[in-house]
Amino acid sequence: MNDTVLEAEHLTAGYGDAIVLEDVSLALPRAGLALLGRNGAGKSTLIAALLGLARQRAGTVRFGSHEITRWSPLRRARAGIAWVPQERAIFPSLSVTENLTVVGRAGPWTLERVHELFPRLAERRRHRGGQLSGGEQQMLAIGRALMLNPKLLLLDEPFEGLAPIVIDELEDAIRRLADEGVAILLAEQHVEKALALTARAAVLDRGRLAWQGASGELAGDADRIAALMGFAVAEGDMMPADPN
Ligand SMILES: Nc1ncnc2c1ncn2[C@@H]1O[C@H](COP(=O)(O)OP(=O)(O)OP(=O)(O)O)[C@@H](O)[C@H]1O
Ligand SMILES: [Mg+2]
């Protein structure tokens, strides 16, 4: 059974004249891919390349049965690729409900289903986006992406800067997405959590693929994680050492 949702082969991409990603090949299975790597490794750039937002120099990208390498960002979105950017980018002056309904496509994800996934968004439906806590804004950003009824959701560091209890809530929601048929790419620096939520993992280092394999294999190998990510300590949920 081929359960690959998206596949990049020999992807080289960057911005303008700058090349950031070089010769990256990876496969994203239906059960999810963790995209790991320290600050500046190229995770967001890879996401931008998959969305058609970076400058692609070489390589191919396949999504389902289509080769989408030359597709515009809009065409990729219409084909079912949605994105939750690192900076969340919700509309601060619109209400929660307006944020959720400003864009959308017919499908199983409706306002009711998003409220069911994130009851806090239902409670706060009349609040403005800008009045929400960081965790609630992340829920809103994910909910808004789900309203597009995507086949694939690219999550760029959804846990960044959030309290552990809020991260737990988001983890539960992300775990449910797989059951609902939404494939995820999870770029994260919370390595253990990202590995627990995905079937496969890819580690970037300075724009190149440093490791790829089963998430379970990497999760059990603290030494390899430390070597790949440059961790200072391996305790609790490991966080990378400051590269500076
Ligand atoms: N718009 C841009 N123009 C030029 N260079 C960029 C741009 N965005 C990122 N870069 C560079 O590309 C490299 C990879 O950055 P990227 O944001 O993809 O890393 P990242 O893994 O997402 O890091 P972080 O974990 O901090 O989000 C960095 O050297 C960065 O300076
Ligand atoms: Mg990033």
* Domain, as residue range, for 192: 1-80+151-164+180-244
86 Cα to the center of ligand 2, angstroms: 6
Chain-centroid distance, C-alpha 212: 17
Is this structure's pTM higher than 0.85? Answer: yes
Whether residues 158 and 232 share a domain: the answer is: yes
76 part of a folded domain: yes
Closest by CA to 23, choosing from 206, 224, 155, 214, is 206
Ligand nearest to the CA of 204: 1
Tell me, yes or no, whether 65 and 155 share the same domain: yes
Considering the domain boundaries, does residue 16 fall inside one? yes
Q: From the CA of 50, how far away is ligand 1's center (Å)?
A: 15
User: Residues 165-214: pLDDT tens digits?
Assistant: 999 999 999 999 988 899 999 999 999 999 999 999 999 999 999 999 99
- Residues 6 or more apart whose Cβ sits within 8 Å of residue 25: 8, 9, 10, 11, 59, 209
Q: What is the pLDDT of residues 6-34, one digit of tens each?
A: 999 999 999 999 999 999 999 999 999 99
Q: How many domains does the chain have?
A: 2
Q: State whether 138 and 49 are in the same domain.
A: no
Residue 240 CA to ligand 2 center (angstroms) comes to 14
In contact, 32 and 202? CB cutoff 8 Å: no
Same-domain status, 160 and 65: yes
Q: Looking at the structure, do residues 24 and 1 belong to the same domain, yes or no?
A: yes
pLDDT tens-digit map of 59-93 = 999 999 999 999 999 999 999 999 999 988 899 99
| Residue 52, in any domain of the structure | yes
Q: Which helix (H) or strand (E) holds 202?
A: strand 200-205
Q: Are 89 and 141 in contact (CB under 8 A)?
A: yes
Is 160 found in the same domain as 56? yes
pLDDT in tens, 206-217: 999 999 999 999
